[in-house]
Amino acid sequence: MAKPKSKTPTLDKLVAVHEQSQVCGEFMEWLLTKKKLALCKLHKHCDECYTMGLTKEEFRAKYEDKTLTPNSAFRNSFFGIASAKELARGRFNAPQCGASNSYVFASVSVDSLLHQFFQIDPNKVERERRALLEQLRKQNA
């Protein structure tokens, strides 16, 4: 006879991996707190690396009177100089973040990593929990 389909498959999976997840999480916390090791990832340039977080309009307003002339010795945001082409585009041609080929701190929580590793969708967990609570409320009403 076939086993009836669970109404809470994600919660069931969460319960099934709880012990493993607990050990993994404690190990990661130990690395972070006791060994002072941080999670890092290779930096990938994004729009902010070229725009310094400014919109095109803000970029142009900030650098319009500081354009590159033929006699300018430097060309980067540290000195506040943009070429005419960069002004037109509203962004620098080269990244200005200073993080080329380097590692940056990963801004991800241990919980998020564990959810990803065990392939558990936290939104589905929450929906199933709410559905269970609603079912209990109806039963107790």
pLDDT by residue for the chain (141 residues), tens only, comes to: 667 788 899 999 999 999 999 999 999 999 999 999 988 988 888 888 888 888 888 888 887 765 544 444 444 444 457 788 888 888 888 888 877 778 888 888 999 999 999 999 999 999 999 999 999 999 998
Q: Helices marked H in 55-121 — which ranges?
A: 56-63, 84-89, 110-117
CA quadruple 31, 36, 42, 45: dihedral, nearest 10 = 130
pLDDT score recorded for residue 46 = 85
The closest alpha carbon to 114, from 25, 26, 31, 15, belongs to 25
- Quote the CA–CA distance of 72 and 78 in Å, as a whole number: 14
Distances (CA, A) of 111 to 24, 26, 38, 83: 10, 11, 15, 45
Q: What is the model's pTM?
A: 0.60
141 DSSP β-pair partners? none
pLDDT score recorded for residue 74 = 44
Task: Name every residue whose Cβ is closer than 8 Å to that of residue 125 and which is 6 or more positions away in sequence.
Answer: 10, 11, 14
pLDDT score recorded for residue 130 = 96
50 DSSP β-pair partners? none
